[in-house]
Amino acid sequence: MAKFITKMTKADALAPIVALEACVVAGRTYQAYKRGKWDEARERFIEETMGSITWLLGVKSLNALGDKIVARILKSNGKNFDVGTDKVLRTPFNNFMKNEKPKFTPNQVALIKSAKVMTSIVLANAFIGFVVPKVNQALTRKLRHDRKQELNNKEQNQNLSFKGGAMNAVNAFTHIIENTNTGQLLSSDAGIAGGRMYNARSKEERREIAIRDIGSIYFYMWARGHVGNLMNYVESGRATRLNSETAGTLNSYIREVLDKNGGSMSVEEFRKAILGDKSIKVPEGIRFEQQELSSFSKLMKKKPIEVIKLSEAEKLFKDTETIDRLRRMSQLQPLREGEAILTKQQVLDAMNKSAINNPEFLDKVFTEFSGGVHKEEYRFITNSKLYKLKSQMEDYISDVCKSAKGGKVDKSILDMAKKKNIRYNGINFATGFALSAAVISTYIPKLQYYITKKSTGVDAFPGTYDFEHHKEIDA
């Protein structure tokens, strides 16, 4: 259950979009049938189904094919690489250029990668925005013509079927489109909505497409997360909550700490053993290399990543245990162009020898969370995502301490915290999912139908109804 809820609530997860899309296809098809019967229902089913398949599989498949083509162009033996970077800690693009040495400049490689991604988006959008509407319209014309012929021949068929710098900017954009579901879906939405509106058969149909496709974007991409954040804030005063899979891993890990201390600890002993001394500061005089922030990051007041080479950090300490922890901490990210790097936070964590700062434990939860991307030389994940997870684990421990009865933490307290985490994550997901599914599948179609009826006086499917002729008859 914990893994299922985590999979469904994880940021940028695909699983809830698949489930939501199934509800949307069913709901929109049903609403279309209620108004326009089989013609509108069939068009909606084909349009939504093909759109879903292209969203969920098409762009990824085209990207995978493009990767093979790019690998042949760059002669990189099939090795793929991400172009996302934080410039100081994870640099998969630079690692690729240094190790594989393609016969192209960095700018040329970035443009080749970007061209591959944009081609996959354009092809997917062209298919959904131009090919599918034309096929749908042609199919409707044919079936309506066939029905008319059958009526003329008094052989009406009662069994209709229902089937259905510049390089950094380029690299940042390419990474978002290639590696995030949000980027892929939004880039698809823009082209799909534009293509469908361009190919609309009337201004009324064009307006309905705009309301449906553009109005649905927020509820597809962000509504579930925002609902969850709001409910978390109401319950705990914090917008975020640790995912249930990591909570289970953390729970098992800290139970071992309790076992080593007789199965029960005072709150203060427990807090110190797990979280350690949060007031520790790095030695004065250490010079960290600082990440160069983009204008947007500065506007959002994000703190830059500060890093130091492992070889330099080792010289600052005489304690062999701390030096060993620094070395193990440096393995939580790949080498940067052949050299081991540490963040300022990792230096602090190496000095703060508490259970939650154990490099092997952090590696385990980061691997579960990122699928191992955090250590891959040619892949990229933002460091903020990983250490947001660590911060949520620390909040979880603080909540465990607050819930301890009689000033003691034991296994029953941990079990209670774990069950509460699963319960609230499940409730939050279900609420956000139900709201999004209801709005996209039912209320947005009802709104577009209402606007069409209000503006034309006719409650009919704009794809097949002649509104201009209707006005002439009324006149």
Could you list the residue range(s) of the whole structural domain that residue 78 is in?
2-227+428-469
Say whether pLDDT at 227 is over 90: yes
User: What value does the mean pLDDT take over residues 425-443?
Assistant: 92
Cα Dmax for the chain: 97
Spatial CA neighbour of 96 closest among 84, 120, 381, 119? 84
Residues 92 and 199 grouped into a single domain? yes
Q: For residue 289, what are the β-bridge partners?
A: 307
Edge to edge, the sheet with strand 289-290 lists 289-290, 306-309, 341-343
* pLDDT bucket at 259, cuts 50 / 70 / 90: very high
Direct distance between the N- and C-terminal alpha carbons of the chain, in angstroms, rounded to an integer: 63
Hey, how many other C-beta atoms are within 10 angstroms of the C-beta on 263? Answer: 11
Region 435-451: what's the mean pLDDT? 92
Q: Pick the range with the lowest mean pLDDT from 217-226, 338-347, 395-404.
A: 217-226
Greater model confidence, 123 or 378: 378
Tell me the pLDDT of the chain averaged across its residues.
82
Which among 332, 350, 368 is the end of a domain? Answer: 350
Would the pLDDT of 18 be above 90?
A: no
Query: CB–CB of 233/239 below 8 Å?
Result: yes
473 DSSP 8-state letter? H
- Burial category of 201 from C-beta neighbours within 10 Å (exposed 0-12, middle 13-18, buried 19 and up): middle
Query: Is position 267 within any domain?
Result: no
Where does the pLDDT of residue 1 fall: very low under 50, low under 70, confident under 90, or very high at 90 and above?
low
Whether 190 and 295 map to the same domain: the answer is no
What are the tokens at 91?
């640099």
What is the per-residue pLDDT for 368?
A: 93
On whether residue 317 sits in a domain, the answer given is: yes
Helix (H) / strand (E) element for 466: namely: none
- Position 258 scores a pLDDT of 93
- pLDDT classification of 56: cutoffs 50, 70, 90: low
Do both 288 and 212 map to the same domain? Answer: no
Confidence of residue 216 (pLDDT cuts 50, 70, 90): confident
Mean pLDDT, residues 164-177: 58
pLDDT digits (tens, 9 = 90+) for 265-277: 999 999 999 999 9
Select the more confidently predicted residue: 233 or 107: 233
Q: What SS3 class is residue 304?
A: coil
Confidence of residue 117 (pLDDT cuts 50, 70, 90): confident
Other C-beta atoms lying within 10 Å of the C-beta of residue 455: 12
SS3 (DSSP) at 179: helix
Q: What is the distance of C-alpha 221 from the center of its chain?
A: 8
* pLDDT above 90 (res 6): no
- Residue 303 domain-assigned (yes or no): yes
- pLDDT attached to residue 183: 64
Q: State percent of the chain over pLDDT 70.
A: 83
Residue 163 has pLDDT above 60, yes or no: no
Q: 263 phi and psi, to 5 degrees?
A: 85, -5
- From 350, 378, 398, give the residue that closes a domain: 350
CA distance 168 to 294: 10
Claim to verify: residue 23 and residue 148 sit in the same structural domain: yes
Clarify whether residues 216 and 104 are in a common domain: yes
Residues 24 and 169 in one domain: yes
Same domain (yes/no): 192, 331: no
* Residue 343 and residue 202 in one domain: no
What are 65-111's pLDDT values in tens digits?
777 887 777 777 666 777 777 778 888 888 888 888 888 888 888 88
In a domain, 141, yes or no: yes
- b/e sequence 176-190, b meaning 16+ C-beta within 10 Å: bbbbebebbbebbbb
| Ranges 59-63, 117-121, 324-328, most confident | 324-328
Residues 437 and 343 in one domain: no
Model confidence at 389, pLDDT cuts 50, 70, 90, reads: very high
Residue 220 clears pLDDT 70, i.e. is over it: yes
165 domain residue, yes or no: yes
Half-sphere exposure of 399 (CA within 13 A, CB side): 21
Number of domains the chain contains:
2
pLDDT in tens, 330-377: 999 999 989 999 999 999 999 999 999 999 999 999 999 999 999 999
Residue 440: inside a domain, yes or no? Answer: yes
Q: Are residues 160 and 68 in the same domain?
A: yes
pLDDT score recorded for residue 442: 92
- Would you say residue 84 lies in a domain? yes
Q: What is the pTM of this model?
A: 0.69
pLDDT at 169 over 70: no
The residue from 331, 350, 369 where one domain ends is 350
Mean pLDDT of 454-471: 79
Q: How many CB atoms lie within 10 A of CB 256?
A: 10
pLDDT of residue 91: 83
User: How many whole angstroms separate alpha carbon 211 and alpha carbon 216?
Assistant: 8
- Assess if residue 461 is contained within a domain: yes
E strands present in 244-328: 264-266, 289-290, 306-309
In this structure, the answer to whether residues 197 and 288 fall within a common structural domain is no
288 and 171 share a domain?
Answer: no
Annotate 108-155 with DSSP letters as a single string: HHHHHHHHHHHHHHHHHHHIIIIIHHHHHHHHHHHHHHHHHHHHHTT-
For every residue of 423-442, DSSP letters joined together read: HHHHHHHHHHHHHHHHIIII
